[in-house]
Amino acid sequence: MSNEYEDIILTLKNYGLNSYEAKVYLSLLYKNPSNGNMIATDSGVPSPKIYESLRTLMNKGIVFLVSKGEQSKNKLYTPLPYQDLIKRFEVQFSDEISFLQKHLKDIHEQSEQTWPKLSHIEGYEPAIEAIKHFIDESEESILISCWEKELQALLPHLLQAHKRGIRVVSLVFDYTPDSSKIPWRNFTHQANEKVRQRHKNELIIVIDEHKTISVEANRRKANAVISNHQFMVRTAVNYIRHDIYVNRMIADIGHEKLQEIYGENFSALIDDF
């Protein structure tokens, strides 16, 4: 049996027919009018289920009885033309989608955020999925500092947010050529072993300056803390901003000049306390 046939059966099931009904309809579409025995042979539907399926399809107006007789073999059936069936599905499911769009929108607009001031998530995948959700729900701005691995995981959602007009600013602790293709303001952190150790597995994101998510992005023991407490949010915003300020100055002034002042890898500054 071809993959296309199985896909058609699956699609018809999505539109409300069961497997037997879908097979009966396709059998009649291929050969009609047909009686129950012919349909059973062509469709592969068990004989006890043929007439039950035919009755259901007739009640739905998808199959019609075109010839009567006292014996079952004299009863012939024909299908609703496939063009009419498709139109019926379009109307039926268009109405249902319109209904859902209206009423789900009403519920969403009346809903309230139920996140407490401080929440905790365990696990790498749940933390990343939560961040994706918050990015998709963002309305004004996204400020994020992270490693390239997490940036790539979040990139499709960040790109969609950027297309929606959300102001995105990012700071990445490591650099790959793909970073240069980011369409928003993106900054690269100066790289050395001390930076890698101090910021290891770190991800901080602030959504709309209203909610912050801090993640220890270690796949084996990842943890995320979500807060909408304004002091925590402001602290996260300032942390990322000041990190960007410092790295912009390093880029503008140059490593050589700063190493004259602070030593190799700026150790006199970084190891000061």
Are 194 and 70 in a shared domain? no
CATH number of the CATH domain containing 186: 3.30.870.10
Task: Give this prediction's pTM.
Answer: 0.56
**Is residue 35 one of the residues assigned to a domain?**
yes
CATH number of the CATH domain containing 30: 1.10.10.10
Give the pLDDT confidence of 141-200 residue by residue, as tens digits: 999 999 988 999 999 999 999 999 999 999 998 866 566 678 999 988 877 777 777 788
Are 138 and 218 in a shared domain? yes
**Is residue 259 one of the residues assigned to a domain?**
yes
Amino acid of residue 215: V
Are 69 and 134 in a shared domain? no
Q: What is the dihedral of CA 122, 124, 125, 130, to 10 degrees?
A: 60
Are 251 and 129 in a shared domain? yes
Residue where a domain terminates, one of 82, 109, 134: 82
Say if CB 185 and CB 159 are below 8 A apart: no
Number of domains in the chain: 2
Are 49 and 145 in a shared domain? no
Are 156 and 265 in a shared domain? yes
**Is residue 110 one of the residues assigned to a domain?**
no
**Is residue 105 one of the residues assigned to a domain?**
no
Are 132 and 237 in a shared domain? yes
Say if CB 60 and CB 25 are below 8 A apart: no
Interatomic CA distance for residues 221 and 200, integer angstroms: 13
Q: Which residues contact 52 (CB under 8 A, 6 or more apart)?
A: 20
Are 71 and 143 in a shared domain? no
DSSP structure string for the chain: --HHHHHHHHHHHHTT--HHHHHHHHHHHHS-SB-HHHHHHHH---HHHHHHHHHHHHHTTSEEEEE--SSGGG-EEEEPPHHHHHHHHHHHHHHHHHHHHHHHHHHHHH------SEEEEESHHHHHHHHHHHHHH-SSEEEEEE-HHHHHHHHHHHHHHHHTT-EEEEEESS--GGGGG-SSEEEE----HHHHHHTTTEEEEEETTTEEEEEE--TTS-EEEEE--HHHHHHHHHHHHHHHHHHHHHHHH-HHHHHHHH-GGGHHHHT--
Interatomic CA distance for residues 40 and 264, integer angstroms: 83
Are 123 and 7 in a shared domain? no
pLDDT of residue 206: 96
pLDDT of residue 255: 76
Report for 47-61, 69-83, 114-128, 182-196: range of highest mean pLDDT = 47-61
Residue 101: which pLDDT band, with cuts at 50, 70 and 90?
confident
Are 54 and 127 in a shared domain? no
Are 34 and 134 in a shared domain? no
Residue where a domain terminates, one of 29, 58, 82: 82
Are 66 and 186 in a shared domain? no
- The domain of 54 spans 3-82
Residue where a domain terminates, one of 35, 55, 82: 82
Average pLDDT score, the chain: 84
